[in-house]
Amino acid sequence: MELEKKLIAYFEWFHKNPELSYEEYKTTAKIREILVEAGVELLPCKLETGLVAVIRGKLNGPVQALRCDIDALPVMEETGLAYASCQKGKMHACGHDFHTVSGIGCALLLQERREELAGTVKIIFQPGEESSLGALKILETDEIDDVEMIWGIHADPTNEAGVLSIRQGYVSAAVDRFVITVKGVGCHGAHPEDGVDPILAAAAMVQALQSVVTRNVNAFHPALLSVTRIEAGNTWNVIPEQAVLEGTVRTMNREDRILFEKRMEEIVRNTAIAYGAKAAMEWIAGCPATYNDEEMVQKSIRTADKCNLKVVPEESSMGGDDFSFYEEKIPGCYIKVGTGKGWAIHQPGFRVDESVILSTVHYLTELFLDI
């Protein structure tokens, strides 16, 4: 019971003190303070924010890792919690405070049970997951080069508290961003024949780009394209010189990801030509799709049964997670933990049922002890 009280107090501190991607200085300091006081070893990786803890078991075994992301979102909290964010416009609206305290609790228990632990466990407190690139900060160090398998958890407000969602295969999408700049010739709105309208060309592109999903990608492959920003002009009676489109592409299949970039570039270039304009597309690659290793999934389910936790099939999501960058190098398993049904993640009313903290910590601990 004492451990649960400590963990809830830590959780509430992290929730009250959210920090955005790559600004997690106080968060990192707090994690360090807790772990050092408990005698947990910290690796000397050169990170501005974030850290890696290590627990070395007394028995021979593999090197495993747990990824816990630590950053918050630029969201104004509306939960009404007594421990709501003290930082205006910043909130742990994705459960990373829950992930962080789960990693801390797991480290504390494994430290106490080193005699039972076969191998080594590294707990990664990763910055900048919401940037989709924070995992690369960890991978730029050599601190996890020896890791043989990696685990990740994520808060899930679509399930009851403590219910685990686990499934083999792809569970979240690759995340890519595009910015399209359409160049025309500005002119008076009453005399469009004197110029080249980039808005007309951009509007045609918005429609035509959807054909990649409906006509180029296998209908059984999850994929989507969303244009999320259109910007052009600054007054009502002038046709501007330029229009900008921005958006995201989400795919599960590697070949589809390559196909999207190629087809979109062709559509943008040729649509611009058809309207007498010029256009260029910038493709900003994000994280790849997240894939759950079959053997690790089976182990996760066995451990859940041992801990008397309910398991349901994990639903695929077109959202992404930079956990997938680790999986380009080592097998991984990404588990969703029910945090109580309610507001969706990234929403101002999202909250975590505190009752799931201790059960999650015990589950993760058993996951690493059960070799």
pTM of the model: 0.92
What is the predicted pLDDT for the residue at 45? 85
Q: From the DSSP assignment, how many helices (H) and strands (E) are in the chain?
A: 9, 16
Angle at 360 between CA 152 and CA 121, to 5 degrees: 50
Q: Cβ distance 250 to 318 under 8 Å? A: yes
Rounded-to-10 torsion of CA 77, 81, 83, 86: 30
Annotation-wise, does 45 bind a ligand? no
**pLDDT for 165-176, tens place per residue?**
999 999 999 999
Domain boundaries, the chain: 2-172+289-369, 174-285
Annotation-wise, does 362 bind a ligand? no
Annotation-wise, does 154 bind a ligand? yes
Sequential pLDDT tens for the chain (371 residues):
699 999 999 999 999 999 999 999 999 999 999 999 999 999 998 899 999 999 999 999 999 999 999 999 999 999 999 999 999 999 999 999 999 999 999 999 999 999 999 999 999 999 999 998 999 999 999 999 999 999 999 999 999 999 999 999 999 999 999 999 999 999 999 999 999 999 999 999 999 999 999 999 999 999 999 999 999 999 999 999 999 999 999 999 999 999 999 999 999 999 999 999 999 999 999 999 999 999 999 999 999 999 999 999 998 899 999 999 999 999 999 999 999 999 999 999 999 999 999 999 999 999 999 87
Same topology, domains 2-172+289-369 and 174-285? Answer is no
CATH number of 174-285: 3.30.70.360
**pLDDT for 135-157, tens place per residue?**
999 999 999 999 999 999 999 99
The mean of the pLDDT values for the chain is 97
**DSSP 8-class letter at 175:** E
Q: Which CATH architecture has domain 2-172+289-369?
A: 3-Layer(aba) Sandwich (3.40)
Residue 285, by phi and psi: left (phi above 0), alpha (psi -120 to 50) or beta? beta
Annotation-wise, does 15 bind a ligand? no
Annotation-wise, does 346 bind a ligand? yes
